[in-house]
Amino acid sequence: MTKIGRPTKRTPELDDKLLEWVSEARTIRAFCREHGVSPASVYSWVKQDRDLSERLARARECAAMLLEDEILEIADTPTDLPSDVNHRKLQVYVREKRLVWNNPARYGSKVQLGGAADLPPLEMSEIERTKRIKQLLAKAGHELTENPVLEVEEADGSLEVD
């Protein structure tokens, strides 16, 4: 039985070129333009071949290290021209963004509330939660004096709901 469609351009040599390309922090789209391959084909190869997918992940880690080094080199190189400063800021910014896009868990700045993914969430009792809510409202300038819904008895720590 013959296959329908065009024959694949994928070869082990092309895979190696792709991995080298990515490890140099260059884009897959640029690789595709250079080698006459469709980006959809490359992504399909990666999706279907677990080994290629794992090798591509390692290449991306190498690219991240390269970008880290480039950021330091750009920042540490002195310049006498004021016009170079903004260009260098842009270079550093773009490299930082690429790092965050490719590995947000490692390079992102978002803080997860309630504990990290590998830690259990923080737990509070109803009394602690109510006290904390009252503290935050007091800090914001709101008072719970008018028809309060929750009252915390300080003496025995019991919770009363009106």
Q: What is the pLDDT of residues 20-76, one digit of tens each?
A: 999 999 999 999 999 999 999 999 999 999 999 999 999 999 999 999 999 999 989
Which residue in the block uniquely carries the two structure tokens 């991240």? 64
CATH architecture of 12-104: Orthogonal Bundle (1.10)
Domain boundaries of the chain, sorted by first residue: 12-104, 127-141+149-161
Pairing of strands 150-152, 159-161: antiparallel
DSSP state of 109: -
Q: What is the pLDDT of residues 45-59, one digit of tens each?
A: 999 999 999 999 999
pTM of the model: 0.60
Burial environment of residue 56 by CB neighbours within 10 A (0 to 12, 13 to 18, 19 or more): buried
In the block, which residue shows the tokens 């016009």?
A: 83
Q: Which amino acid is at 4?
A: I
